[in-house]
C-alpha cells in the first residue's frame, strides 16, 4: 500500500515539474531564436505551453498507435498490395517510377513533354 502511495506522490510531483521544465525550455528557445531569425514575437511561459499543446494536437495525435513515419497507411497498402496480381503490381511500380523518379529532370527543364520544333 505504501508503495502505491509513493508512486502516486512521485507522479503528482514529477508530471507538473516535467511540464514546467519543457514549457520553460520551449519558451527560452523560442525567445532566443524566433525574434532574431524571423522577427517574430517574444512569448510568455503560458503561450509556450499553449504552443506545445497545439503541436501535440496537430502533429502527435493523442493516444493513437504510431507505426513510424506515415505508418497509419501501412496496413491499408499492405492489404491492397497482397490483393494485386503480378501484372497490377508491375503497372503500379511503373506508374510510381514515372511519377516520382523523374521529378528532378522535369523541374530543371531538361525533359519536356512537347517536342522542340
At residue 22, the pLDDT reads 94
The parent domain of residue 24 ranges over 1-65
At residue 117, the pLDDT reads 46
At residue 63, the pLDDT reads 58
Asked, for residue 103, whether it belongs to a domain, the answer is no
Asked, for residue 77, whether it belongs to a domain, the answer is no
Q: With contact defined as beta carbons under 8 Å apart, do 77 and 69 qualify?
A: no
Q: With contact defined as beta carbons under 8 Å apart, do 24 and 45 qualify?
A: yes
- Smallest Cα–Cα separation from 48: which of 77, 34, 27? 27
Asked, for residue 8, whether it belongs to a domain, the answer is yes
Q: The pTM is what?
A: 0.50
Asked, for residue 110, whether it belongs to a domain, the answer is no
Q: In the chain, which stretches have pLDDT less than 50?
A: 107-108, 110-113, 117
Asked, for residue 72, whether it belongs to a domain, the answer is no
**Alpha helices (H) in the chain, listed in sequence order:** 2-38, 45-55, 74-83, 86-96, 103-108
Asked, for residue 56, whether it belongs to a domain, the answer is yes
Amino acid at each position: 500500500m505504501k508503495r502505491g502511495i509513493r508512486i502516486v506522490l512521485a507522479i503528482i510531483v514529477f508530471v507538473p515539474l516535467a511540464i514546467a521544465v519543457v514549457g520553460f525550455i520551449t519558451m527560452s528557445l523560442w525567445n532566443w531564436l524566433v525574434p532574431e531569425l524571423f522577427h517574430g514575437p517574444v512569448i510568455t511561459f503560458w503561450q509556450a505551453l499553449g504552443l506545445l499543446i497545439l503541436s501535440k494536437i496537430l502533429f502527435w495525435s493523442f493516444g493513437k498507435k504510431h507505426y513510424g513515419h506515415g505508418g497509419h497507411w501501412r496496413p491499408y497498402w499492405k492489404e491492397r498490395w497482397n490483393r494485386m496480381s503480378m501484372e497490377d503490381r508491375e503497372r503500379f511500380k511503373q506508374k510510381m517510377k514515372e511519377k516520382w523518379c523523374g521529378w528532378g529532370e522535369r523541374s530543371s527543364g531538361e525533359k519536356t513533354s512537347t517536342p522542340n520544333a
